[in-house]
Amino acid sequence: MLPPLFPALAASLLTLSLLTTIHAAPTLVYGLMDQEPPVGRVNSPFSFNLFPGSFNSTSDITYTTSALPAWLSWNSASLAFTGTPSSSDIGNELITLTATDSTGSISSDFTLIVTNYTVPGVHSSFTTQIANPPLRVFASASTLPGDTGVSVPPYWSFSLGFAGDTFRLSNTEPTNGDLFVMAHERGAVGLPGWLNFDNETMTFNGSAPGSGSFTIVVTGTDFWGYTGAQTSFVIAVGQGEPIEQARGRNFTAVETIARGKVDYEIPLEDILVNGTAATAGQVAFEVHQTDFPWLDVSG
């Protein structure tokens, strides 16, 4: 038979175990390099603002850094590195940030780059391209009001092709001659799992989720993995676009006889999506197979 105090002892051990689990050391949610730090530019203000949830803990966190160059400051309240480098600061330096709570600590670091190279620029913003159809190619997506982005029906596959010269190197020397392009969702690391980006063709491909609005930020930079010039657009996922018949016209009634052939092309110019003639990628047609099992739809 167990001693009378055993249940109380077991309960105490269980409570201690739970407390140990709850009060764990801080965890790293977003690594510093994953947040695409900016490049320090000579005589230009530098500001690296970390995501608010970069470190996570169930108790208060204090922050410490490795030795910083004289021009660089760390603000724990705003989670930001700031300062203005000079020409004497050109070079690379590893910066480590450590988060500590009552039970332990965890660190993350980034390589600080200071250069006199001029930052690349935006040659053609996404707003400009979205407003000008010859500059981009969209499939299964329509433009949002104000040309701020695109709307995609839920669960549809879509493609967004933008201009290869969205970014360009600065005309002001010196530059290092490199231009890299990266994309991420604003406020997050990388892109949502349903969206892919080809930085060689400047094309986004994806299969939309059920709903949501996502701001996609694309960076043109002269140092891979670092922030540079940026332009952004919105992908809004909804219940499809308002579709209506154009000019009050009706589609032609199709009649056939037994063993006759049906070959009818639906005039897309008679369908309006947001007041504009539809394209093939915006409209899908279905046939009620129970009524017409022999009829096929293609295109």
pLDDT value at residue 24: 73
pLDDT value at residue 244: 47
pLDDT value at residue 13: 45
pLDDT value at residue 172: 92
pLDDT value at residue 248: 46
Flag whether the pTM goes above 0.75: no
Please, is 283 exposed, middle or buried when counting C-beta atoms within 10 Å of its C-beta (0-12, 13-18, 19+)? middle
Instruction: Look up the CATH number of domain 27-115.
Output: 2.60.40.10
pLDDT along the chain (299 residues), means of 10: 46 45 80 98 98 95 98 98 98 98 96 98 98 97 95 96 97 95 97 98 97 97 97 87 48 53 67 62 53 59
CA 76/CA 67 separation, integer angstroms: 15
- Span 121-237 CATH architecture: Sandwich (2.60)
Given a contact cutoff of 8 angstroms between Cβ atoms, the answer to whether 41 and 85 are in contact is: yes
Identical fold for domains 27-115 and 121-237, yes or no, is: yes
CA 220/CA 181 separation, integer angstroms: 5
Give Cβ neighbours of residue 113 (< 8 Å, ≥ 6 apart): 39, 40, 92, 223, 226
Residue given tokens 């051990």 in the structure block? 13
Q: Where are the domains of the chain?
A: 27-115, 121-237, 245-299
CA dihedral of residues 17, 20, 21, 27 (deg, nearest 10): -170
